[in-house]
Amino acid sequence: MSNLKTINLPDYGDFDEVEVIEICVESGQEVDSEEPILILETDKAAMEIPSSVNGIINKVILNVGDKVKVGMPFLEIEVQEHKEDDKTILDIKEEVSVEEKTFMDDPPSAVDDAANVMSKQESNVINLNNHKSKNIHSGPATRKLAREFGINLSLVAGSGPKGRILKEDLHQYVKNILSSPQEQTFKSTQPDIDFSEWGNTKEVDLTKFQKTSLDNLHSSWVNIPHVTQHEEINISKLMKIREKLCKKYKVKISPLAFVLKGLSVSLKEYEMMNSSLSKDLNTIIFKNFINIGVAVDTEYGLIVPNIKNIDSKTISNIANEVKELADLAKKRRLKNEHLQGASFTVSSLSGVGGKFFTPIINPPEVGILGLSKTFDSLKLDKLKLETVKMLPVSLSYDHRVINGVYAIQFINHLSEVLNDIKFLEDSFK
């Protein structure tokens, strides 16, 4: 027994219209519940839209390139009565913010700066175009225009009934900004050069995801006074105890898990590094939780899921969660709770190379730790040369909150933790 059922697009977030970039199935194909049917692209990320039932595809109603909205029919499927799934379509709302490559034995590749892709909820005032408030009243067209202008609706005075924000209010807001030189924001530009004069060229449009990343990276760099402190940490003891513990418990645990655990201790001790500035820049918000973001490179961009309450987890647990989040990211299975709530970010180029770099801070965080590729170095100990394993680290911090002395004290503390053999052993399992 089977019956033909039409499936509508679920609520995929605060987007008026998104584009279909890929069809994953074809007519006559048998699919299971939660198997991807199509892939949509927003200005934040690519996201899969799955089937909510088991059955055989009769027709995919949409085509690549179509602009779609919530509630539109996208699939006709012959549902097998004995397999029918009572679940509704998953609420897919993928938002990204990026940082780093996982520091694992077999890590997914990542590129440093792209890891600073910020979710718009955690962006600065200029980029809060997705801001929602119970006190903000505006129509879909007005909200769309606000996103295009990059306007935080909470800053706009509405002239409509009951304070409703109209398109005219947005135009007036922009005029006011432009008429006040002290409030103007810097807009990056590129020289207009015809490169074809020197040879063949081709142009490829940036994806919405790439455009958002570009804007957010630029905004972070322009609006936050970055200072970067470089240091080398001796992790010879860490690598030896890692080898011993992995052999003892017959597991494979990456050095990253040890670093993340040590970092959680230092963030608790140096709580300013785990803080954020308030929106009005008048107060510092201290967080009683430690959620560390770890970025993963996927075919559609860098995604930065975070490990919640990492200070309460063992090194083994951390290693498993890093792997699970990386797998979910590659399969486009991350949920909002995986992507929101980070208090600090780690950016790693350890699997690629290099010695030092300047990671860009991911607002509203005030610090980000960059990890480069480990290297062997000679150290003189009691008139005897020995080879040690060194980990280059690069700490970028918001100089409005963190000063240089505090930053180097933080790095020194992290070094001490990563050389505390008893702590590493006790934290492993």
If DSSP states are collapsed to H, E and C, what string results for 395-424? EEEECCCCCHHHHHHHHHHHHHHHCCHHHH
218 noted as active-site residue:
no
Phi and psi dihedrals of 227, rounded to 5?
A: -130, 135
Cα dihedral 84→85→91→95 (10° resolution): -90
CA distances from 356 to 136, 146, 149 (A): 45, 39, 36
Residues 58, 75: Cα–Cα separation, whole Å: 8
Answer whether the bond into residue 359 is a cis peptide, omega within 30°: no
- Contact of 117 with 94, CB cutoff 8 Å: no
- Contact of 233 with 390, CB cutoff 8 Å: yes
Residue 325 DSSP code? H
Residues 75, 6: Cα–Cα separation, whole Å: 6
Indicate which residue of 137, 218, 230, 399 is catalytic.
Answer: 399
At what angle are helices 421-428 and 236-249 packed, to 10 degrees? Answer: 30
- Contact of 363 with 220, CB cutoff 8 Å: yes
Residue 95: burial class (beta carbons within 10 Å; 0-12, 13-18, 19+) = buried
Residues 115, 103: Cα–Cα separation, whole Å: 14
If DSSP states are collapsed to H, E and C, what string results for 188-252? CCCCCCCHHHCCCCCCCCCCHHHHHHHHHHHHHHHHCCEEEEEEEEECHHHHHHHHHHHHHHCCC
Residues 94, 73: Cα–Cα separation, whole Å: 21
Q: Active-site residue numbers?
A: 399
